[in-house]
Amino acid sequence: MADKAVGEAAVGRSGGQAVPDPDVRTEPTAQPPDRPTAGALRVVGKALRKVDAVAKVTGATKFADDLALPRMLYCKLLRSPHPHARIVRIETGKAEQLDGVKAVLTGKDFPIPFGILPVSQDEHALCMDKVRFIGDPVAAVAATSEETATAALDLIDVEYELLREIGSPADALAHPEPRIHDYGDTGNLHKLINLEFGDVEEGFAAADVVREDLFFFEGNTHLPMEQHAALADWSADGKVTLWSSTQTPHYVHRALAKVLELPAARIRVIATPNGGGFGGKSDPFSHEIVVAKIAMLTGRPVKITLTREEVFYCHRGRHPTLMWVKTGVTKDGAITGMHFRSLLDGGGYGSYGVASTYYTGALQTVTYQVPRYKFQGARAFTNKPPCGPKRGHGTPQPRFALEVHLDKLAEQLGLDPAEMRLAHLQPPDSLTANYLRVGSMGLGECIRKVTNGAGWKDKFRKLPPGQGVGLACSSYLSGAGLPIYWNHMPHSGVQLKCDRSGGVTVFCGSTDIGQGSDSILAYITAEVLGVDPFDIRVVTADTDLTPVDLGSYSSRVTLMSGNAALQAAERAREIILPHAAKQLDVPAHRLAFADGRVFDVEDPERGMGFAEAVQAAESAVGTVGTVGSYTPPKSAARYRGAGVGPSPAYSYSACVAEVDVDAATGIVRVPKIWVAHDVGRCINAATVIGQVEGSIYMGLGEALMEEMAYRENRHVVHKIPSLLEYKSPTTLEMCDVVTYIVEDPDPNGPYGAKEVGQGPLLPVMPAVANAVYDAIGVRVDEVPITPEKVLKALKKRGKGDEGRVGPTAFPDIPWPEPTRVLPPWEGGDGKAVDQAPTLAGGVREERQH
């Protein structure tokens, strides 16, 4: 594959690249030293400003709600007050008659369904015949003022026939009827998964210790500071433009084309800079489709900005997940087999849920060697706001379970949990039992960094009562190996233009959600062409102007758009090189591109400006423009369900959390966290640190306080959808963070880079839970670890109980027949083993607890 070859040529596992110069370079105008050394990186790895930093600190960045067009209408959505009901009748006449109202739409205006996954096209822009959660949109009004639109909502009369509400997965299991959706694996179970990689029972038989544990991870939400907003404009030549705070303009483009029945070429989607996303703006949303449709109908621009309350209803956040794990280990802590079960509360729609469910079982195998692995996962539909992808997408829940489970196993075996992990790491350049291809693997270094930094050996099980330390590790994808819509096309594309002024413009569909993806394009292009990154113009996230990049999800952007940019820039360099060489009369191989010049490395005085070099090329071959693209390597996995888990590269993190627990109040304080993250290679060290610290912050919130809470008497009513009642860490709760960057370059990453935006969140929750146990000797096997739970556990222990709070049973689930795949070391080829009919072991499995 061409792109892969570029990546390998540029880096290679063995390196050959100089360690990034640690000199602080914060002034964009400062020039790098003027003589390049072979292989030295001049931009990559430096702590530079982001290309949009000045716009952000001056308030100049235009977010979606900052946009306004003449004659703009304001849109409001009427949302269901019922969790589960049939829509009998909607009366919109009075609303339509209100002065200033220009359009009132209902479900019948949107007969075509949509959804992010091809297998879950289960949403309508406005509900057709049924509502599935409190907050489900049933009608839309557009009016000349926001106040009029709001007043008109009150004039819409909706008659509902209430249906039994399904409040929880247990409810969904007990009540297959009424079905929330008329599709899905069975009753109100949306998805059932059963995968087997080797015989786990054989593994348990070979173990010295076999342990089972149950865990629960409460749902939580993204809480981006920017509420979703969208503005649509229709022009009389039949084209629609949508500006939206979306992480995935490409998928919004697809959904609009489908629902509006317009050729995609007539639809332009522009993702405005996202005021925080974290996965919450990754689905195509009702409000985006509604404003586009109203713009088409009225011929006027239409804007909608969701209220904070509505953002809670859009949700798509972390799935509440119940988990059971059984692991066999030998005396030295080597895993002999692992069986993992998860039950996800999906909420009212599919969203990314099928993928989320697979993700709860996918990445258990990439950190420590697991020779035999079995995963069973289920997702239930419930009448609550739909769950979807939040930072870590489906993997923080099982990682919490696994890392606490290992802590318990280590204690049972009398091993140090750090030593136990270090002894059984998944090796680099290896295949896992479920056929994930691990490339570079810096977890060992991460564990050593944080344990040394935290003084682990002097603290673990040695601190005074009430104080404790806990360790946990994790791994995450650098982008999904397969696209959401199966095809052979690139996942990311870049077009690059070099003009005769020396200006360079990079066009890419990638979307900056604050993580710095625009800057990555500039840094990589600057590195290759030797120009100042702040002289590069970056045009992104516009379906009319930029080649497709699938979006800012699954931590894919640095690796994928970075590789595409690298290829486009290398191709531009190749175009320019011979003509510059000819003009300078220097052999092409002796030319370097740096400091805005092209020059002879053996005689740096002999050179020309980058603009002159472009002019030489343009004179000889015409306009200088290139393209680059990236397609991930083919996965080794060939079984059904293997689409979730493969990635070009896996990042690794380790974390030590120190806690103070007040036994009188149950309050857990986290003074400090040490974290090490194997990012492969920093493209910008400062943004890597920023992503790590932000991940620790969000993980701390999930560990201690964040929960998507529903009222106790009715499990379907959101407890108080506000920023005040949804507890998230302020400056007063945030801990100190000591960050270690580990660079184990991966051949698949641009300059070896892997992800950093999501992975470092994962170890925080289990590290805190393990530290709480170290501090006070009780286990809270669910998050968030609230004071109530800590006190409850202490009280139980006071009564002579084991001092544990957490789930006590995993329900019976009608698992399908397993897909059996032999691990690589048992002669498997990545495909499922053909099953003889006699192998049927019954569709229902025995109760485990």
Amino acid at 503: G
Contact stretch for other proteins (CB under 8 A) within 325-333, 363-371, 622-630, 730-738 = 730-738
Indicate whether 98 belongs to the interface with other proteins (CB under 8 A): yes
SS3 274: coil
Restricting to residues 352-411, name those near other proteins by CB under 8 A: none
Q: Please, which of residues 129-188 interact with other proteins by CB under 8 A?
A: 145, 147-148, 151-152, 154-155, 157
- Using CA atoms, how far apart are residues 461 and 407, in angstroms rounded to an integer? 12
Q: Is 94 in the site for other proteins (CB under 8 A)?
A: yes
Q: Quote the tokens at residue 522.
A: 């500039």
Rounded CA separation 288/244 (Å): 7
Nearest to 295 by CA among 236, 253, 255, 246: 236
Please tell me the distance from the alpha carbon of residue 741 to that of residue 763, in angstroms, as a whole number.
Answer: 15
Q: How many angstroms separate the Cα of 254 from the Cα of each of 263, 269, 409, 486, 545?
A: 10, 10, 48, 14, 16
Of positions 22, 118, 176, 777, contacts other proteins by CB under 8 A: 22
For helices 396-413 and 353-362, angle between their N-to-C axes, nearest 10 degrees: 20
CB of 705 to other proteins, least distance (A): 13
Q: How far apart are CA 665 and CA 677, in angstroms?
A: 34
Judged by CB under 8 A, how many residues of this single chain contact other proteins? 81
697 in contact with other proteins (CB under 8 A): yes
At 78, is the secondary structure helix, strand, or coil? strand
Cβ–Cβ < 8 Å for 699, 677: no
Does position 49 interact with other proteins (CB under 8 A)? The reply is yes
Site for other proteins in 100-119 (CB under 8 A): 100
Query: Nearest CA to 843 among 169, 119, 186?
Result: 186
Contact status: 669 vs other proteins (CB under 8 A): no
Separation in Å, CA 80 to CA 130, 293, 383: 10, 21, 12
Strand, helix or coil for residue 476: strand
- Which part of the chain contacts other proteins (CB under 8 A), choosing from 96-104, 415-423, 660-668, 765-773? 96-104
**Of the residues 223, 260, 441, 576, which one makes contact with other proteins according to CB under 8 A:** 223
24 contacts other proteins (rule: CB under 8 A): yes
Q: Which of residues 578-607 bind other proteins (CB under 8 A)?
A: none
Residues 800-819 binding other proteins (CB under 8 A) are none
Shortest CB 46 distance to other proteins, Å? 9
Q: Is 248 in the site for other proteins (CB under 8 A)?
A: no
What residues numbered 597-656 form the site for other proteins, per CB under 8 A?
none
Q: Which two structure tokens, joined as six digits, stand for 407?
A: 């802590």
| Secondary structure string (H, E, C) spanning 618-667 | HHHHCCEEEEEEECCCCCCCCCCCCCCCCCCCEEEEEEEEEEEECCCCCC
Report how far residue 79's alpha carbon sits from residue 96's, in angstroms, rounded to the nearest whole number. 17
x/- site string to other proteins, residues 461 to 500, per CB under 8 A?
Answer: ----------------------------------------
Strand partners, 661: 668
Residues 203-222 that bind other proteins (CB under 8 A): 222
Nearer to other proteins, 50 or 316 (CB): 50
Q: Residue 98 or 663: which CB sits closer to other proteins?
A: 98
* x/- track of binding to other proteins for residues 430-449 (CB under 8 A): -------------------x
CB-based contact 337:327 (threshold 8 Å): yes
Asked if 515 interacts with other proteins (CB under 8 A), we say yes
Select the residue interacting with other proteins from 81, 113, 428, 453 (CB under 8 A).
453
Site for other proteins in 295-324 (CB under 8 A): 307-308
Contact region for other proteins (CB under 8 A) — 51-59, 194-202, 543-551, 789-797?
Answer: 51-59
Of 152, 134, 131, nearest to 75 by C-alpha is 152
**Calpha distance 654→311 (Å, rounded):** 32
Query: With respect to other proteins, which residue has the nearer C-beta, 46 or 293?
Result: 46
Q: Return d(Cα 48, Cα 428) in angstroms, integer.
A: 31
> Which of residues 32, 694, 766, 823 is near other proteins by CB under 8 A?
694
Identify whether 428 is preceded by a cis peptide bond (ω within 30 of 0).
no
Q: What are the DSSP calls for 404-444, one per residue?
A: HHHHHHHHHHT--HHHHHHHTBPPSSEE-TT--EE----HH
User: Is 517 one of the binding residues for other proteins (CB under 8 A)?
Assistant: no
Distance of CA 521 to the CA centre of its chain: 20
Told to check if 537 binds other proteins by CB under 8 A, we report no
Q: How far is the CB of 691 from other proteins (least distance, A)?
A: 8
CB-based burial, 446-463: b 16+ in 10 Å, e otherwise: bbbbbbebbebeebbeeb
Q: Which residues contact 226 (CB under 8 A, 6 or more apart)?
A: 63, 64, 65, 245, 274, 275, 276
In the complex, least distance from residue 423 CB atom to other proteins, rounded to whole angstroms: 25
Contact 552, 518 (CB under 8 A): no
What's the closest the beta carbon of residue 305 comes to other proteins, in angstroms?
9
CB of 449 to other proteins, least distance (A): 8
Rounded distance, CA 318 to CA 90, Å?
A: 33
Nearest to 628 by CA among 668, 575, 699: 575
Q: Which one of 118-126, 209-217, 541-549, 738-746 is the stretch in contact with other proteins (CB under 8 A)?
A: 738-746
Query: Which residues are 270's β-sheet partners?
Result: 243, 542
A 10 A CB-CB count for 787 gives: 16
Please report how close the Cβ of residue 746 comes to other proteins at its closest, in angstroms. 19
Q: Which of 96, 419, 660, 693 binds other proteins (CB under 8 A)?
A: 693
Q: What is the smallest separation between the CB atom of 384 and other proteins, expressed in angstroms? A: 22
Q: How far is the CB of 311 from other proteins (least distance, A)?
A: 9
Binding status of residue 57 toward other proteins by CB under 8 A: yes
The answer to whether residue 696 forms part of the interface with other proteins (CB under 8 A) is: yes
Interface with other proteins, residue 423, by CB under 8 A: no
Closer by beta carbon to other proteins, 360 or else 519: 519
| 81 interacts with other proteins by CB under 8 A | no
User: Is residue 686 close enough to count as binding other proteins by CB under 8 A?
Assistant: yes
| Position among 37, 235, 619, 722 found at the interface with other proteins (CB under 8 A) | 722
- Say whether residue 75 binds other proteins (CB under 8 A): no
Nearer to other proteins, 25 or 459 (CB): 25
Closest distance to other proteins from the beta carbon of 287 (Å): 17
- Tally the C-alpha atoms within 13 A of residue 228's C-alpha that lie toward its C-beta: 28
Q: Given the complex with other proteins, which of 353 and 444 has the nearer CB atom?
A: 444
Stretch that binds other proteins, among 201-209, 435-443, 502-510, 728-736 (CB under 8 A): 728-736
Binding mask 258-277 for other proteins (x = CB under 8 A): ---------------xxxxx
Interface with other proteins includes 19 (CB under 8 A)?
Answer: no
Under the binding rule (CB under 8 A), the answer on residue 55 touching other proteins is yes
Closest CB to other proteins among residues 169, 701: 701
Nearer to other proteins, 52 or 782 (CB): 52
